[in-house]
Amino acid sequence: MILPCPSCAQSNRVPAARLGDKAKCAACKAPLLPVAHPVAIGSAEEFDELVRNAKAPVLVDFWAAWCGPCRAVAPELAKVAGQRAGSVIVAKVDTEALPAVASRFGIKSIPTMILFRGGEEARRLTGAMPAQAILSELSL
């Protein structure tokens, strides 16, 4: 996973299995973890690594830039990431950039959010909703 430093914006590589550990930025030494913001997924391999190896549950938002409801739910997912930093990882998969990943999970409408626990799909939500509804529906 490539994580930007919240202090200096330097890109840092952190293995998905270590996202629950402590890590510091290679450039400025500021803490990188816990991840308190949604993480953009850049490839199918990165997606697979995260879902398979993350110790915490992973909430994946399948979205597209042209989708109005996706843009509406983005700040709500940022709230979820901030409120549950360290206990859940929020990731974003752009369905236009990674159509094979979206197809693998049968994504037919967006936004769709899938919660993965231990590498397996545990729960699925479709549609824009506030952060509290997402947390409640997913039992986070």
Separation CA 59–CA 67 (nearest Å): 19
Classify residue 17: in a domain, yes or no. Answer: no
Domain at 74, CATH number: 3.40.30.10
Classify residue 43: in a domain, yes or no. Answer: yes
Classify residue 73: in a domain, yes or no. Answer: yes
Say whether the peptide bond before residue 57 is cis (omega within 30 degrees of 0).
no
Q: Are strands 2-4 and 11-13 parallel, antiparallel or unpaired?
A: antiparallel
Classify residue 24: in a domain, yes or no. Answer: no
Which ranges in the chain belong to alpha helices (H)?
44-53, 68-83, 99-104, 131-138
**Which residue(s) pair with 2 in the sheet?**
13
Classify residue 98: in a domain, yes or no. Answer: yes
Predicted TM-score of the model (pTM)? 0.91
Task: Give me the mean pLDDT over the 33-60 stretch.
Answer: 92
- The number of distinct structural domains making up the chain is 1
Provide the domain limits for residue 40: 35-138
- The catalytic residues are 67, 70
Please state the separation of Cα 104 from the chain's center in Å: 17
Instruction: Quickly state the pLDDT bin for 19 (edges 50, 70, 90).
Output: confident
pLDDT in tens, 65-111: 999 999 999 999 999 999 999 899 999 999 999 999 999 999 999 99
Average per-residue pLDDT in the chain?
93
pLDDT in tens, 119-131: 999 999 999 999 9
| C-alpha distances out from residue 24 to 27, 42, 47, 87, Å | 9, 22, 22, 19
Classify residue 12: in a domain, yes or no. Answer: no
Single out the residue of 104, 17, 117, 124 nearest to residue 61, CA to CA. 124
